[in-house]
């Protein structure tokens, strides 16, 4: 067995050992956890363009901003639909399922996700904070109408409110908009109550609100784990860095717990 493979296996063993002793677990997840579901990895909701300008001459962060949506919702919706189409038909993978499965066996499993794809919910996780919102819920920009949608296929773009005719928007945080305070407060309350182990999975860790909980946990002596094929600024901070894809890593960890019932 190559030395690097031995090192990864030993790390998986160690993480499983800590998880076996834990009852309260926090999973912070980004786009990388959905890669094995066939979704592209991207920073926030905009990195599908990887820095390239859009066909409208705007950088993707501008096109997907609250400022542009307010004056040209057709432009923002054009790129929201491209993101929604990339998520359409995707199913939870083994990493999503492993996290949901752990929730059945531990006192508390919280998912704090940047993803808007809804795959944690689809996998069955119950305590989820979708800090950037999701693409499956629409709200009218002028009245109180709201609706849930499986996908946007066959819909007029931009979609209009059936009650008043104004433009609908998905319940996502666009660039330049504030994060939802109620969800942040819920996360802060849970973090202050304490976790026994903290995982960062598939996130490039560029946003302070993604990085800081891991840094604080590590500084407090709470075991911390990063699962990501690419190193990030957290890789040298966490106790355990696992250079694997999310599905492979989580399957390997859960298999080591010796608890039956997880279908991998």
pLDDT at 262: 58
Q: Which domains does the chain have, with CATH numbers?
A: 3-38+91-132+178-256 (3.40.50.1220), 47-88+137-172 (3.30.1600.10)
pLDDT at 50: 57
Out of 87-91, 182-186, 247-251, which region has the weakest mean confidence (pLDDT)?
87-91
Catalytic residue among 18, 96, 120, 132: 132
What are 190-241's pLDDT values in tens digits? Answer: 999 999 999 999 999 888 999 999 999 999 999 999 999 999 999 999 999 9
pLDDT at 68: 97
What are 6-57's pLDDT values in tens digits? Answer: 799 999 999 999 999 999 999 999 999 999 998 876 543 434 555 667 777 8
3-state secondary structure 94-117: HHHHHHHHHHCCCCEEEEEECCCC
pLDDT band at 263 (very low <50, low <70, confident <90, very high): low
pLDDT at 85: 87
Q: Is the dihedral of CA 65, 67, 69, 74 positive or negative?
A: negative
* Whether residue 106 has pLDDT greater than 90: yes
What are 55-99's pLDDT values in tens digits? Answer: 778 888 899 999 999 999 999 999 999 888 888 888 999 999 999
CB 230 within 8 A of CB 19: no
* Whether residue 249 has pLDDT greater than 80: yes
In order, the DSSP letters of 4-45 are HHHHHHHHHHHHHHHHHH-SEEEEEE-GGGGGGGTPPP-STT
Strands 133-140 and 146-148 turn out to be: antiparallel
pLDDT at 2: 40
pLDDT at 40: 74
CB 106 within 8 A of CB 25: yes
96 classed as catalytic:
no
């Amino acid at each position: 067995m190559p030395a690097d493979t031995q090192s990864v296996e030993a790390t998986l063993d160690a993480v499983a050992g800590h998880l076996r002793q834990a009852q309260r677990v926090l999973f912070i997840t980004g786009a990388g956890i959905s890669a094995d579901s066939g979704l592209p990895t991207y920073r926030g909701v905009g990195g599908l363009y990887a820095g390239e300008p859009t066909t409208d001459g705007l950088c993707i962060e501008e096109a997907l901003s609250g400022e542009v949506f307010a004056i040209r919702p057709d432009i923002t919706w054009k790129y929201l639909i491209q993101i929604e189409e990339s998520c359409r038909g995707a199913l939870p993978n083994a990493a999503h399922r492993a996290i949901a499965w752990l929730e059945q066996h531990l006192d508390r499993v919280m998912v704090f996700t940047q993803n808007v794809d809804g795959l944690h919910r689809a996998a069955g996780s119950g305590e989820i904070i979708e800090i950037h919102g999701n693409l499956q819920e629409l709200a009218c920009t002028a009245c109180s109408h709201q609706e849930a949608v499986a996908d946007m296929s066959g819909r007029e773009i931009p979609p209009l409110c059936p009650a008043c005719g104004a433009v609908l928007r998905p319940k996502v945080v666009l660039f330049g908009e504030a994060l939802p305070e109620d969800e942040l407060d819920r996360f802060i309350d849970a973090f202050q109550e304490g976790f026994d182990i903290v995982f960062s999975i598939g996130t490039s860790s560029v946003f302070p609100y993604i990085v800081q909980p891991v840094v604080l946990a590590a500084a407090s002596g709470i075991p911390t784990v990063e699962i990501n094929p690419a190193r990030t600024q957290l890789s040298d901070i966490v106790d355990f860095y696992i250079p694997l894809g999310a599905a492979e890593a989580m399957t390997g960890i859960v298999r080591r717990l010796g608890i039956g019932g997880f279908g991998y």
